């Protein structure tokens, strides 16, 4: 097909990444109420003051198996 070439000059991924990073600037952290923080990222790690739930809990939603362990229908798990 004619006219299906690239629309402009191209550059390597590394050059594009370097150009993009050079144009970016780090924003200063802001303190916001939780209800105004949708779509934002944390400036530092947040650690809960207590465990929720307050006891050891291991919930299971399913099982993980290796394909080599269940190659036949008669495989026992």
Q: What is the pLDDT of residues 21-42, one digit of tens each?
A: 999 998 899 999 999 999 999 9
**Tokens describing residue 11:** 């550059």
| Whole-number average pLDDT of the chain | 85
* pLDDT for the residue 76: 73
pLDDT given at position 12? 92
**Which residue in the block uniquely carries the two structure tokens 């299971």?**
60
Q: Flag the least confident range among 23-27, 41-45, 52-56.
A: 52-56
Tell me the percentage of the chain whose pLDDT exceeds 90: 39
Q: Give every CB contact of residue 77 below 8 A, 6+ residues apart in sequence.
A: 63, 65, 69, 70
Q: Name the DSSP class of 3.
A: T
Please answer whether residues 9 and 16 qualify as being in contact, where contact means their C-beta atoms are separated by less than 8 angstroms: no
Dihedral angle over CA of 47, 48, 52, 54, nearest 10: 110
């Amino acid at each position: 097909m004619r006219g299906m070439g690239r629309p402009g000059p191209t550059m390597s991924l590394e050059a594009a990444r370097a150009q993009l990073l050079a144009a970016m600037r780090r924003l200063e952290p802001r303190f916001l109420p939780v209800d105004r923080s949708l779509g934002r990222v944390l400036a530092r790690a947040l650690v809960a003051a207590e465990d929720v739930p307050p006891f050891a809990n291991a919930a299971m939603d399913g099982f993980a198996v290796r394909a080599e362990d269940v190659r036949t229908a008669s495989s026992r798990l």
